[in-house]
A and B are shown apart, each in its own frame.
Chain A
Amino acid sequence: MTAETKESVVLTAMILVFVALYGVFVEDLTGRVRTPPPPEPTPAWATNTGTVRISAAEVIATDGDTSMMECYVCHTEGERQPLKLDSEGRVILVVEHSDLIFGKKRCLTCHDESEEASLELEYDDDGRVILPKGHEDLVLRHGEYGRNNNCYNCHNPDKLDELVTRQGKKYPLSESTMLCVSCHGPTYRDWLRGLHGRTSGYWNREMGEARREPCAACHDPHHPEFPHLRPAPAPRRLHGGQPQAFAGAHRREAGGDGDGGSDENHSAQTAEEPEEG
């Protein structure tokens, strides 16, 4: 091979390399328009405006938004779910359901006020009340340390579906708010002013009506403490991926890792005690 041939071979090869590089470079810079990952759908429960005490039965009965009840995303249809019971035999709601309290129907869903038959409590051999049918999941924890745990503090002993205040005033179930008011005066004052509790509809009362919720819409009368809720998804990075890390002081204290929102971090937090609905 002569020197000239060698030279031209090298030159041709170099030209090809440069042309190829140029092509790749231009193609890479202009040819590809990077698209962000597809939008993550927001779970329907994150924007549901229902109160915390709406039961599945009630949603269906009122032809409400059932999109939040994607039962079979997690559950298999036809498969029986094992129930967890606490030491006293009550159903413990799993954390995933703490946002939607199943089985905690409001009184009037089942009870008819025109009903004349008086309801009576049955007692077991130890003299304890046997919870009536449909009330098995009832949790009595009214007041701090459960101080208001006696049925007849609020129920009429002679007619259980009638409410009676300490002063002896009687109210039907539909006016349960007035029973609450007999003890919780300042809260009622705030509620009347629109401070306590939810409001929806129109702030401008001339343009439309505002809708207020009664006490029992958010508070279970037997267990009035506001339930713990499942938080809606945390903010994400600009281009998707895991949530942004904000190394807060308390996080460092807790021995958290630098990149917040990792799966290890989540599972560390899920170890917390599940909430009882």
Chain B
Amino acid sequence: MQRQPYATGEMSRRSFLRNTAIVSSAVAAMAAALAPLRELDEFPSLEEFLQKHYKELTPEEMDRILKRIADEVEKEYGRRPEIKDYKPLNGVQFVYCLNLTRCVGCRKCVHACVAENNQSRSPEIQYIRVLEMPNGTFDVEQSEHTYQPPAVPREQRYYMPVQCHQCRKPPCVKACPVEATWQEEDGITVVDYDWCIGCRYCEAACPYWARRFNWAKPRIPKDKLNLNMSYLGNRPRKKGVMEKCHFCIQRTRAGRYPACLEVCPTGSRKFGNILDPESEVSYILRNRRVFVLKEEVGTMPRFYYYFDV
């Protein structure tokens, strides 16, 4: 039997297949494009949405925000944090000094920092990276980040921990398009996690690779949450915001030493007020051979490395 050709306007098999394919892929693509909305289970409240910039907040507004954050943390972690907005102390300029002769590369600072500052355990976020380099070299690009010998220090190696250098001329602050990061009077460059849009320009601008991005929602074991929190410091972050070392704002602005310093078994880490001539850091800067990392980029770090010899 001879088949009749299809009349005009009648659906051919070819056009049916084509249309079905187009329509189904279009629907699938649409669904894929809207997929991120499925994860938006917690819409920001109106108050949160209309929150002003940190520097424009009145103390009453800050109190309300802190209460809101405490509620959120309590809801998620089951314990109520002690959260404060620590302000810079008068007549204080923080400086950090690290003794390269003493550092043995044990990485205890890295983990003390993670515990103190409520950093995400998975995916892993760490503010401090300890670089292992052969003696007599100084090429950070060729350094070893993941050394794991049974015991450190290894023969013919030295160790250089790197974290935020709290630059006096911070390129990250310059790069931020929304003023979500700025330098405070005591020299700490802070990030407002409620204001950050997650563009990561600051990460690209930093010559020390000090900034970390929350690619996923940070995950912290409930019992490991540090309840001593600060607004600009270690309160839990959201997905899609930048974070970085802030010299443990919740400790140092209360007069205490940062967590990385207290845990260091060798006493390589020194911290203090550079405006106080009696402080350890003043003495080191006056009497020791001190250098800053990547001096040539002109960022003028507040983080100094020094030697014992």
Told that A22-B24, A200-B257 touch, could you supply 8 new A-B pairs with CB distance under 8 A?
A: A29-B31, A46-B111, A95-B150, A208-B255, A218-B267, A230-B150, A232-B108, A275-B150
Number of A-B residue pairs at CB separation under 8 A: 214
Count how many chain B residues have C-beta atoms less than 8 Å from C-beta atoms of the other chain. 76
Provide the bound-state CA to CA distance between A252 and B254, in Å: 47
Chain A 117-153 per-residue mask, 1 if CB under 8 angstroms from chain B, else 0 = 0000000000000000000000000000000000000
User: Counting CB contacts under 8 A, is B298 at the interface?
Assistant: no
Chain B 264-279 per-residue mask, 1 if CB under 8 angstroms from chain A, else 0 = 1111001111000001
Provide the bound-state CA to CA distance between A73 and B35, in Å: 44
B4 to chain A, nearest CB (A): 11
Contact for A33 among B16, B34, B38, B108, CB less than 8 A: B38
Do A203 and B146 form a contact, CB below 8 Å, given A36-B122, A232-B108, A235-B126? no
Indicate if the CB atoms of B219 and A39 lie closer than 8 Å.
yes
A60: chain B residues at CB < 8 Å are: none
A243: chain B residues at CB < 8 Å are: 145-146, 148
Indicate if the CB atoms of B150 and A18 lie closer than 8 Å.
no
Do A52 and B265 form a contact, CB below 8 Å, given A14-B20, A40-B122? yes
A218: chain B residues at CB < 8 Å are: 265-267
26 contacting pairs across A/B (C-beta < 8 A): A3-B1, A10-B13, A18-B20, A29-B32, A36-B216, A37-B122, A42-B111, A47-B112, A47-B263, A193-B283, A198-B266, A199-B267, A204-B89, A207-B256, A226-B104, A228-B151, A228-B153, A231-B105, A231-B147, A231-B149, A231-B152, A235-B129, A239-B123, A243-B148, A272-B149, A275-B151
User: Counting CB contacts under 8 A, is B297 at the interface?
Assistant: no
B121: chain A residues at CB < 8 Å are: 39-40, 42
Indicate if the CB atoms of A203 and B28 lie closer than 8 Å.
no
Closest to A251 in B: B144
User: Counting CB contacts under 8 A, is A7 at the interface?
Assistant: yes
A74 to chain B, nearest CB (A): 14
B31: chain A residues at CB < 8 Å are: 26, 29-30
Provide the bound-state CA to CA distance between A238 and B147, in Å: 18
Closest to A268 in B: B149
Count how many chain A residues have C-beta atoms less than 8 Å from C-beta atoms of the other chain. 78
Indicate if the CB atoms of A204 and B273 lie closer than 8 Å.
yes
B271: chain A residues at CB < 8 Å are: 203
B261 to chain A, nearest CB (A): 7
B69: chain A residues at CB < 8 Å are: none
A235: chain B residues at CB < 8 Å are: 110, 124, 126, 129, 145-146
Contact for B149 among A29, A248, A269, CB less than 8 A: A269
Indicate if the CB atoms of B115 and A193 lie closer than 8 Å.
no
A11 to chain B, nearest CB (A): 7
Indicate if the CB atoms of A22 and B28 lie closer than 8 Å.
yes
Closest to B116 in A: A47
Closest to A19 in B: B24
A107: chain B residues at CB < 8 Å are: none
Provide the bound-state CA to CA distance between A48 and B151, in Å: 17
User: Counting CB contacts under 8 A, is A182 at the interface?
Assistant: no
Provide the bound-state CA to CA distance between A3 and B107, in Å: 76
B231 to chain A, nearest CB (A): 20
User: Counting CB contacts under 8 A, is B85 at the interface?
Assistant: no
Indicate if the CB atoms of A203 and B38 lie closer than 8 Å.
no
User: Counting CB contacts under 8 A, is B215 at the interface?
Assistant: yes
